[in-house]
Every structure is written in C-alpha cells, then in structure tokens.
Amino acid sequence: MFTQEMLDSMKKVEAARAHNIATEPRRMTAEEKEELLKHYHPDYKEEGFTHLSMGPNAGDKVPEELCELLQGKSRVEDLELDLTKADYEADVLIIGGGGAGSSAAIEADEAGCKAMIVTKLRIGDANTMMAEGGIQAADKENDSPAQHYLDAMGGGHYANVPELLKKLVTEGPGAVQWLNRLGVEFDKAEDGTMITTHGGGTSRKRMHAAADYSGAEIMRTLRDEVLNRRIGGGDFTSAIELLLDEQGRATGAVLQNMETGEILIARAKTVIIATGGAGRLHYQGFPTSNHYGATADGLVLGYRAGAKLLYADTLQYHPTGVAYPQQIFGALVTEKVRSMGAKLINANGEAFMHPLETRDVSAASIIRECSDRGNGVDTGAGKAVWLDTPMIDQIHGEGTLEKRLPGMLRMYSKYGIDIRKTPILVYPTLHYQNGGLQITPDGQTCVENLFVAGEAVGGIHGRNRLMGNSLLDVIVFGRNAGQHASAKAKEVTLGKATLDHVQRFAKEREEKGIHTQTLSPKLLPDYTRKV
Amino acid sequence: MAEMVNVFLMGKRYEVPSGLTIMGAMEYAGYKLVRGCGCRNGFCGACATVYRIKGDRELKTALACQTTVQDNMYVATLPFFPLNKELYDIGKLRPDEQVMMQLYPEIYACIGCNACTKACPQELNVMQYIAYAQRGDFKKCAELSFDCVMCGICSSRCPAGISHPQVAMLARRLNGKYIAPEAQHLTKRVKEIEDGECAKALEAIMNKPVEELKELYNHREIEE
C-alpha cells in the first residue's frame, strides 16, 4: 500500500487540515498566470510538437502524434472498392455515438430525416460517459449568458470564436431543459431548484450535476432515446474514409466492421463527424482520462477531405488525474472534488494554490510544485500532490462526500482507499482536445455537407476549456449539427461517390516526400506488451 | 521486477505482474481488445467479467478495468449480454404502476433469490430497486439504481429473465422527467432567452475590444 514517504507526508496534510480549511489561498494575478503557463504548461513546450507539411493547415504547429496521423496513409488506399453500390443509405450519417452524435441523431430524427449512427465501439462508449463533474448553464437569478461568455472567454485566453461561444452560452439553459425533459436526473433541492456549484474559473455557481455521474446519466439517457427512436446504424463499425461527390461535397463514408474487417459503403446526403477527442494518442507521454477510442479519427477523416483545423496545438491536461494507485493511473478525479471544497496540498502540507483556478493554470501549478519547487510526493511512477478529500465532509458534514461523489468513493474503495478519511495523490492527465475542425455557427466545415459536433470541433473554448462547458457543447452543438444537417439534407440530391480526394492526398504525400506507413485513422490504441 | 501471478484467461494460463487489473493483464498477455473495453474507468459497463479463484466454488463478477488480478484466477469476459430493451415514447408515458406492468411485466416474476444483488460489480441493491419498480416507486428505484453502469451481469444471473438495467433506466427517466420538481428558474431563463431578453447584454460584451474584456474578466466579482 502507501510507502513510508507517503504516510509521513500524509501526516503533515492531516496536521494542517484545520488551518488549510480555514484559509482561502489567494488567486493568481493575470501576469502570474501567464508566467506560470509559459514555463510549466505542456502546450508551451517546443518539444512534442511539429509542423504540418501538407494539407489545409500546412505550416501549422500540431502534436507530433497527431501530425503522423493527419499525414498518414489512408486505409482505403490499397483497396478495390465499388462505390456505386451502397450497403447503407441515410439522409444524415453520423460518425460517432457519444453525446454529440446521439444528440445530433435525435434532432435529425425529430426533423423527419433518416439518421444513422456508426460507432467503432458501442453507442455510449465515449468521453461523455466519463464526464463526472457537471454541465454549465447560466440559469440562476444572479447569472446571465453574458456572464457565462465572459468566464469562458477569459478562461479560453480570448481565443474563443465569438459566434460559437455566443451559441454555447445562449443555448445553454435550453440544452439543460431539453435533457431534463428527456428524463435526465439533475441534482435538485426539494423545491426543484438546481443544486449548482463553481468550477475552475467560473464567477457564478452554474455547474449542474447528477452526483459525479453527470456525463453517464446524460449519455445513458440519450442512448435510451436513440434506441427508442429506432435510429439505425451499427456498433463496432468504424468510418475509415469520407466519400465526396464530384463537386467535393460530403456524401457518405467507407465503413469497416471492427471485428470481421468487412468493408461497407454508406451513402448519405449530409455527414456529421462526432468522433470526440484524442487522449489515447498520449501526447508528450501523458496518461489520459479518456475512453479507449479517443484517437482523433474525425480530425483525420475531415483533414483528408479538405476541412480545416483550428487550435490543434492546444490540449487540456486535467489537473487532477489519479497518480496513485497505479491500477487507475491517469483516471479522472473530477474537478467537483475541488468545487466541494477540497484543496490541493503539497508534500509539506501547504495549500499552495487556490483550488479553483482554470484547468491550464491548475495543471501548470501542480507541475511546478512537483518539478522546480521540489514539493511533490514520490509515487514510484513520478511525483504528485495531495487533493485533501477529507475536507469535504469536515466542511459540509458527514455523508456529503458519499452522496455527491459516489463514483470517486467507489473507484478508490476498490483499492482499499477511503477518500473520506485519506487524501489522494493527483497529477495532471491528458483530458481534452481544445482544438479540432473549424466550423461555422451552423456546424458545417468548409467542405459542403460535412458537419462536426462535440470534442472534434475546434474554437468554441479557445485555448483552454472550462469545466462543464464540454458536456454543454456536445449537447448544444450536437443538436445544432443535427438540425442543420437534416435541413440541408432536404435540399441535396445524391451525386456520384468518389475517393478522388484520397488519391490527391496520397499524391501530395508523395510530392512532399512523406513515406510513413502509419495507417490512419488510428481507430484504437495498442496496449499489448511489446516483447 | 514486480511479483508475478498466474491467471487463466479464457482457460489459458499466463504469468502477469501482480498489480495489474484484469484488463491490464489481458493486454499484457497480448490481447488487443476490441470488445470488452470501453471507458477503462468504471463508468461504461463494457468489460463485465466473471471469474473464479482456483479451489473456490463461488463464481464472482467484476468490471475488468476496476479489478486487480489474483493468483490462480480463472477469467472469462462477458462483453455482451442480450438485455431486453422495450421501446417507448417517454413523452407519452405516465409514472404510474401500469407502466412497468405493460413494458416489463417479468419483474413481477422475481422469485427473490437475490442473485442479481450478489452479482452487481457496483454493489447495488438490485433486487430492492426491482421491488421498488414493482410498487411503482420510481423515485426510490432511481435512487438505488443510480450508479448502474448497465453491464448486464445481474440479468445474466436472473432466473426470471429480468433486464434489471433497462427497468432502472426507465424508472430514472420517469423520475427525472415527471416526478422530480420542475426547476422554475430554468424555465424562466429559457423563456427570457427565447424572448430575446438576454441578447442585448451579450451583444454588448461581444462588441468590446479584447483589452476591455480582459479588464472586465480580471476584475469580475466571483460569487462566494
């Protein structure tokens, strides 16, 4: 179990607990934050990044692992395909079965279109399912969409695309209402008032939650609704390339059965990419809180078809990933733990920062504490700081943690750690892709009839996302893409399907002297032991 | 070098480091997972697993991503179990006892063996939440079933053919939609937005130059 060093340090944390509860650490100034990020945030490092040498964003900085896939070899390059036949036909083809894809499918169905979801794992095997802390929406008396806008813009370093952020904050309350009417159970007081808390960087308590299963509760409800509506498609079916018509408009996808390898052709009038994030690419060697399929597939598909990326060089490292025990290394410890009052404490028992700075600042601050300042605790796999979870019941009364953070309590109890009594060791974990494919407010990319929603979109959150704005974004922009893609589908007459863009891409690879054999999209990571 | 243990994956013996999860052990042994692996974090229910420790008569259940291997563990994964999911329009249902009678009548055939509860890797009181569903107490059913990851292990053990996770799913949706009180402040704000009452303040802030936005952000009042 715990090493002697951990136990000694834990004693210091316990001894200082009463003092640390009573004192509120100062928030950093704008200048202090800027300086901290520059020196300690992984996004600001030179190594780990490279520049794209081809495609719509040639010259732009991206993580090395992403570059290799964006410039990779197509999985259809060596296949003989008959594109005149169609195994599936739909009005709207949705690639990805997470929160955004499911929301899009429900709206497309609602609009009277034939929607189809393909997903490489199962519907609901997605980061949405794993979002714990909550969903933001400005629905309280002291709050407003304008205030939400200001928080997100400041947190995002003023790089958020204004029109997209406007949509996010304006449609936020409507999204929460839509979910509630589908039957999502939000934490409410006796009179129906939503129980809301802060997240890092929020100026109002607008974090709505369903215990610490917020995303799971949303995702399983959306999945149930998709099933009720008999929306077709398939689990364990990946999209390995988009199809474009002779005018370069999206018109379907080449699919592959993940188990049998069978290739299938899906034709559709419009296509929505809702493939989520990229944590499983393990940028800069970080562990990840993401689900098994988070491999940036949609970015690869879109890029090869000519869609542009925005901010693909900005990632989010969640400040509090599990650092110990090793079985759950990198797993998410929800920010809600800090929303509920638990503070970050270094090896000496000092509360070294305000617990609710934005995520990039918090992550950088923890990295500084564990590196240059030498105040980390050795875990055997690196350094970590404490998150003092016993504070929660001391502040709010016994039983609070169990009621509001049951998932966290369970996750640790499987390894004999009772987080009501014992603080936990945390270190940043790769959590979210801030960047992605660029869209206009209708959800469309620069490739006609190709829409994007959810984590695969870039720009909504600028260069750093606030907690609770991603669950909100998958709902708002998922529904938005579903509505616009189905409206557009009603105007489209299907053309001839082609893979000319893939051939052009292969030719450009040749011209640029890129001879890598890495197949992309990646589809799944490989964790088998290499002997 | 970590201490090694023997595990039997689908009956075949492998030697793996003792600290690994069952999922980690499978990957260590060389399985590249497609089925039986989802969030890897205990939320999605993709990695339902049954196991028996050599010499032990009891068949145990677990999520492969949340359980550490033990010496002489016989492991079989259960990545898919055919649950029965009834289709319905949530807008047309009413939260009364009739609903369960119509959609999931098999819950009334529960023989009280409690095998479901014993099997639940989330340690939920599954039989009790089914009892609440039988009585039409959807609020209680929703509360007790809230941490369900829908892995289906309970149903695999049920002699009455109950699809417990689907029953609970319906109960939670009924509770969330019909039984929990309405959030008046939410209804009010949605209407204000629809009526365009929030647009002006938002436009004003959107039109500010970045320097002014920074001032506003850095000096904004933060709710206690």
SS3 label, residue B119: helix
Is A327 within 8 Å of B186 when comparing Cβ atoms?
no
- The Cα A75–Cα B183 span in angstroms is 49
The answer to whether A94 and A115 have CB atoms below 8 angstroms apart is yes
B220 at the A interface (CB within 8 A)? yes
Distance of alpha carbon A421 from its chain centroid, rounded? 31
Say which of B34, B150, B222 has its CB closest to residue A220.
B150
What tokens were used for B219? 């000096």
Which residues in chain A land under pLDDT 50? none
Spatial strand order of the sheet with B4-9 comes to B12-17, B4-9, B73-77, B48-53, B60-63
**What's the pLDDT at A233?**
86
Residue A414: count other Cβ atoms within 10 Å of its Cβ: 18
A530 at the B interface (CB within 8 A)? no
H or E stretch including B102?
helix B97-103
CATH (residue range B4-77): 3.10.20.740
Is B189 within 8 Å of A173 when comparing Cβ atoms?
yes
Q: If you compute the radius of gyration of chain B from its CA atoms, what whole number of angstroms results?
A: 24
Domain(s) of CATH 3.10.20.740: residues in chain B: 4-77
**What's the pLDDT at B1?**
53
Domain(s) of CATH 1.10.1060.10: residues in chain B: 90-179
Say which of A186, A210, A524 has its CB closest to residue B34.
A524
Q: What is the pTM of this model?
A: 0.97
What is the residue-level pLDDT of chain B in tens, covering all 224 positions? 579 999 999 999 999 999 999 999 999 999 999 999 999 999 999 999 999 999 999 999 999 999 999 999 999 999 899 999 999 999 999 999 899 999 999 999 999 999 999 999 999 999 999 999 999 999 999 999 999 999 999 999 999 999 999 999 999 999 999 999 999 999 999 999 999 999 999 999 999 999 999 999 999 999 98
Is A528 within 8 Å of B32 when comparing Cβ atoms?
yes
ipTM (interface predicted TM): 0.97
Q: Which chain B residues are closer than 8 Å to A184 by Cβ?
A: 176
Domain(s) of CATH 3.90.700.10: residues in chain A: 4-40+316-430
The answer to whether A443 and A480 have CB atoms below 8 angstroms apart is yes
B30 at the A interface (CB within 8 A)? yes
Is A291 within 8 Å of B44 when comparing Cβ atoms?
yes
The answer to whether A289 and A321 have CB atoms below 8 angstroms apart is yes
The correct answer on CATH 3.50.50.60 for the domain covering A86-313+434-500 is: yes
Is A173 within 8 Å of B186 when comparing Cβ atoms?
yes
**What's the pLDDT at B97?**
85
**What residues 161-190 of chain B have any CB closer than 8 A to a CB of chain A?**
169, 172-177, 180-187, 189-190
Q: Which chain B residues are closer than 8 Å to A29 by Cβ?
A: 218
**What residues 86-145 of chain A have any CB closer than 8 A to a CB of chain B?**
121-122, 124-125, 129-130, 137-142, 144-145
The answer to whether A99 and A272 have CB atoms below 8 angstroms apart is no
- The Cα B47–Cα B50 span in angstroms is 10
A258 at the B interface (CB within 8 A)? yes
Domain(s) of CATH 3.50.50.60: residues in chain A: 86-313+434-500
- The Cα A49–Cα A63 span in angstroms is 4
Tokens 């469309």 belong to residue: A444
Q: Which chain B residues are closer than 8 Å to A158 by Cβ?
A: 210, 213-214
A318 as an active site residue: the answer is yes
**What's the pLDDT at A1?**
82
DSSP E strand boundaries for B23-99: 48-53, 60-63, 73-77
Question: For residue A44, what are the contacts with CB-CB under 8 A and spacing of at least 6?
Answer: A37, A38
In single-letter form, the type of residue at position A435 comes to: G
For domain A4-40+316-430, give its CATH number from 3.30.565.10, 3.30.70.380, 3.90.700.10, 3.30.70.920. Answer: 3.90.700.10
CATH (residue range B90-179): 1.10.1060.10
| Residue tagged active-site, from A17, A338, A359, A463 | A338
Q: For A129-195, give the secondary structure using H, E and C.
A: HHCCCCEECCCCCCCCHHHHHHHHHHHCCCCCCHHHHHHHHHCHHHHHHHHHHHCCCCCECCCCCEC
The answer to whether A160 and B206 have CB atoms below 8 angstroms apart is no
Is B40 within 8 Å of A146 when comparing Cβ atoms?
no
SS3 label, residue A492: coil
A280 as an active site residue: the answer is no
Is A129 within 8 Å of B44 when comparing Cβ atoms?
yes
Task: Give the largest CA-CA distance in chain A.
Answer: 72
B78 at the A interface (CB within 8 A)? no
